[in-house]
Chains A and B, each alone.
Chain A
Amino acid sequence: MTDLPATNSDELDPEEQRVLAAIEAELPSMPAGAQNLIPILQRIQQTHGYLPRGGIYLVARHLGLAPSKVFGVATFYNQFRFNPPGRHPIKVCLGTACHVKGGEIILENFARRLGIEEGETTKDREYSLERVACVGCCALAPVVVVGEKIESYVTPSKVEGIITEIEVRREMAAREEERNES
Chain B
Amino acid sequence: MSDDMVVLTVDGLEIKVPRGTKLLQACLDNGIYIPNLCYLEGMERPPSSCRLCLVEIEGRPGPVPSCSLEVENGMVVHTSTDALRRLQQTAFRLLVSTNSGKCSLCMANKRCEMQRIAKFLHMPLRTKRLRHIPKDMPRIIEEHPCIDYESNKCVLCGRCIYVCGRQEDAPFHLDFAGRGFNTVISFFGSELPGVAEYCRDCGACIAACPVGALSYREDRQRFLQQLERNKASRARK
Q: In the bound complex, how far is the Cα of B175 from the Cα of A60, in angstroms?
A: 13
Binding site for A on B (CB under 8 A): 171-179, 186-189, 191-193
Complex alpha-carbon distance, A88 and B87, angstroms: 50
In the complex, are the beta carbons of A67 and B178 less than 8 A apart? no
Supposing A2-B189, A72-B186 touch, asked if A67 and B172 sit within 8 A by C-beta, the answer is yes
Count of A residues near B, CB < 8 Å? 18
Name the one of A5, A57, A67, A68 contacting B193, with C-beta atoms under 8 angstroms. Answer: A5
Q: Is the interface of A mostly helix, strand, loop or mixed?
A: helix
Q: Are A75 and B173 in contact (CB under 8 A)?
A: no
Q: How far is the CB of B63 from chain A (nearest CB, A)?
A: 29
> What's the Cα separation between A69 and B177 when bound, in Å?
8
Residues of B within 8 A of A77 (CB): 179
Contact A68 B173 (CB under 8 A): yes
Q: Which residue of B lies closest to A1 (CB)?
A: B171
Would you call A8 and B177 a contact (CB within 8 A)?
no
Q: For the complex, give the distance between the alpha carbons of A2 and B188 in Å.
A: 12
- Cβ distance A42 to chain B, nearest Cβ, rounded Å: 17
Out of A6, A68, A75, A76, name the residue touching B172 (CB < 8 Å): A68
Chain B CB within 8 A of A7 CB? yes
| CB-based nearest A residue for B180 | A76
Sampled A-B contacts (30; CB under 8 Å)? A2-B171, A2-B189, A2-B192, A3-B193, A5-B191, A5-B192, A56-B188, A60-B189, A66-B172, A66-B173, A67-B188, A67-B189, A67-B192, A68-B173, A68-B174, A68-B175, A68-B186, A68-B188, A68-B189, A69-B175, A71-B175, A71-B177, A71-B188, A72-B175, A72-B176, A72-B177, A72-B188, A75-B178, A76-B179, A77-B179
